[in-house]
Structure 1
């Protein structure tokens, strides 16, 4: 079965690309978007990026990437990029 093309996340974060592979994944990502739209997450880009990252990594079967070391590397990479 061919893999769907990656879609950039709405926050244009470089932490992840969202690949929607099933209706179940689509419904999870729709709920995630609702959560990210709440005041708590909308006012905290770092918290939003973290939640989106762990959700997408888990949906794509890469939960092994969710470690303190890997998250630190991703966070540093994001911080070193010039603002868009």
Structure 2
């Protein structure tokens, strides 16, 4: 995914307005800001992941044998837990 600087600014503006990020001053660059994820972001991410997992279960994992499906679910759960 690529953004122009203006496109990224608009995206940051929208996500900040929705309360998903906050902008903090960059201590190393007075012209820059740091985008910091908020707790609300976690709630939105959980909802999105629930929807995404349901889609994967119904469209992707059905094609896998049961043992492969269990193995994939264990791997994905490990990856998910590592991000929290």
TM-score interval w.r.t. the shorter chain? 0.3 to 0.5
State the TM-score, normalized to the length of structure 1.
0.34
Larger helix share, 1 or 2: 2
Higher RCO (CA < 8 A, seq sep 6+): 1
TM-score by length of structure 2 reads: 0.34
